[in-house]
Amino acid sequence: MTAITNHMPTAELQALDAAHHIHPFSNNAELAKKGARVITRAKGVYLTDSEGETILDGMAGLWCVNIGYGRDELAEAAARQMKELPYYNTFFQTTHVPVIALAAKIAELAPGNLNHTFFAAGGSEANDTNLRMVRTYWAAKGKPTKSIVISRINAYHGSSVGSASLGGMVHMHEQGGMPIPDIHHINQPNWWAEGGDMTPEEFGLARAHELEEAILDLGEDRVAAFIAEPIQGAGGVIVPPATYWPEIQRICDKYEILLIADEVICGFGRTGNWFGSETLGIRPDIMTIAKGLSSGYQPIGGSVVTDEFAAVMDEVEFNHGYTYSGHPVAAAVALENLRIMEEEGIVDQVRDVTGPYLAEKWHTLGDHPMVGDTQIVGMMASLALTPDKNSRAKFASAPGTVGYMCRDRCFANNLIMRHVGDRMVISPPLVLSIDEIDVLISRVRTALDETYAQVKDAGLFKPAS
């Protein structure tokens, strides 16, 4: 076989891709017909494809390339570590320097007494760890019946059987026999879509109270933990009403329910603080981390737990671990990523400068005839597309039809912005500059204008009855 390189014609690469590569979350037959866009390189916030087009990456890969593309320091850290110690495990009474240093660094950055990390290769694995760990924790405390984890509809916690069961994506549960037992879902705090006649504040409280009702229904002695993203990411960048999290925290405290904050997206600067829990005022017992930990340069994630939690688990031989838990190369790269983020003040920059600027511009999109809600915290943001902003109406067309059209117009304008149903979301690299924010906003506006024209032409600009 001839070498497959960046220099091959796009069509040949696409044909080989279609022949042998199964894409996640895709209809592979449809994709094969049009051919996947081949991304060949990236620098800063821009991707380049095999046709030489440059694309502004409004999604930081998959919500993860916080530091931006093309940082040689991370490549060098990986190369150094590969030469010195490419792999060793930490299962059998051994450890190594990168994992020691990274665990200590995470303890320094994490709020409160979240000082101990169990490593994984990504967020799904880390949430599987959490599921087993909270049950093991309660059993060790003499309360083995506390095994139910409460989560939320439209949450995303990963794709493995355990983590997808924790998640609340109905279309995922439909495939492969999920959710597994002892996972219970309550409703999400999505005021725009589900708030009815309530004010956001009333609605936030009502949705938080569903947690209390679930605990009372299921029995306090049965519930181990509540898991949630501080701000739902894959669910559509749903920023909860201000009343929601304080009430959730009160309920978890009152009933001694462990609180797991899934920081896979919100962590490492995304919300303008190191962790979303700080921005939202949450005191978790466990944080799930991944993505921005290494800015996606290496697959790594973990579960960060408090001193109190770790003290209980320390007494148990926890029969759990992954070959790549604390992988030395991934750990070395993550450390270098965190060093750069700290030294360059990237989180402060998002909180004080670029985040507020992006927010100001993002909210101006609310004057577009098809845009209802505009939500943004730090550098994660969403727009609700609607045929009638006053009534917060959904489109009459199948959910996601208009969102998909908008995503296509973004692609055509060399901007990656995702759609979640008829909500548009961005999560750009945290190094996005003021000038790049202007480019992003102008491409979003063009894409919205083009979508609006298409939607009207197709007779789709009408509300569901």
Provide the binding-site residues for ligand PXG, judged by CB under 6 A: 62, 122-124, 127, 156-158, 229, 233-234, 262, 264-265, 288, 290, 301
Dist. CA 232–CA 276, nearest whole Å: 11
Query: With respect to ligand PXG, which residue has the nearer C-beta, 99 or 290?
Result: 290
Please, what is the minimum distance in Å from the beta carbon of residue 180 to ligand PXG?
16
Query: With respect to ligand PXG, which residue has the nearer C-beta, 67 or 455?
Result: 67
Query: With respect to ligand PXG, which residue has the nearer C-beta, 234 or 238?
Result: 234
Q: What is the DSSP string of 429-453?
A: -TT--HHHHHHHHHHHHHHHHHHHH
Please, what is the minimum distance in Å from the beta carbon of residue 104 to ligand PXG?
23
107: Cβ–Cβ under 8 A, 6 or more apart, which residues? 114, 115, 116, 117, 304
**Helix or strand holding residue 203 (H, E):** helix 200-218
Query: With respect to ligand PXG, which residue has the nearer C-beta, 120 or 224?
Result: 120
Q: Judge if the upstream peptide bond of residue 179 is cis by omega within 30 degrees of 0.
A: yes
Dist. CA 166–CA 163, nearest whole Å: 5
Please, what is the minimum distance in Å from the beta carbon of residue 36 to ligand PXG?
16
The strand ranges marked E within 80-212 are: 114-120, 148-152, 183-186
Dist. CA 181–CA 176, nearest whole Å: 14
Please, what is the minimum distance in Å from the beta carbon of residue 401 to ligand PXG?
18
Task: Take residue 168 and report the two structure tokens written for it.
Answer: 């609340």
Query: With respect to ligand PXG, which residue has the nearer C-beta, 234 or 405?
Result: 234
Please, what is the minimum distance in Å from the beta carbon of residue 275 to ligand PXG?
13
Residue 284 contacts residue 252 (beta carbons within 8 Å): no
Torsion angle of the four alpha carbons 240, 246, 248, 249, in this order, in degrees rounded to the nearest 10: 140
Residue 373 contacts residue 192 (beta carbons within 8 Å): yes
Please, what is the minimum distance in Å from the beta carbon of residue 161 to ligand PXG?
12
Residue with the closest Cβ to ligand PXG? 123
Query: With respect to ligand PXG, which residue has the nearer C-beta, 262 or 373?
Result: 262
Query: With respect to ligand PXG, which residue has the nearer C-beta, 303 or 374?
Result: 303
The phi, psi pair for 185, rounded to 5°, reads -110, 135
Query: With respect to ligand PXG, which residue has the nearer C-beta, 123 or 387?
Result: 123
Please, what is the minimum distance in Å from the beta carbon of residue 354 to ligand PXG?
22
Q: State the distance between the two ends of the chain, measured CA to CA, in whole angstroms.
A: 57
Please, what is the minimum distance in Å from the beta carbon of residue 9 to ligand PXG?
29
Bridge partners for 376 per DSSP: 381
Please, what is the minimum distance in Å from the beta carbon of residue 125 to ligand PXG?
6
Query: With respect to ligand PXG, which residue has the nearer C-beta, 135 or 157?
Result: 157
Please, what is the minimum distance in Å from the beta carbon of residue 295 to ligand PXG?
13
Query: With respect to ligand PXG, which residue has the nearer C-beta, 122 or 204?
Result: 122
What length does the chain have? 465
**Helix or strand holding residue 311 (H, E):** helix 307-314
Q: What is the DSSP string of 114-136?
A: EEEEEEESSHHHHHHHHHHHHHH
Residue 65 contacts residue 429 (beta carbons within 8 Å): yes
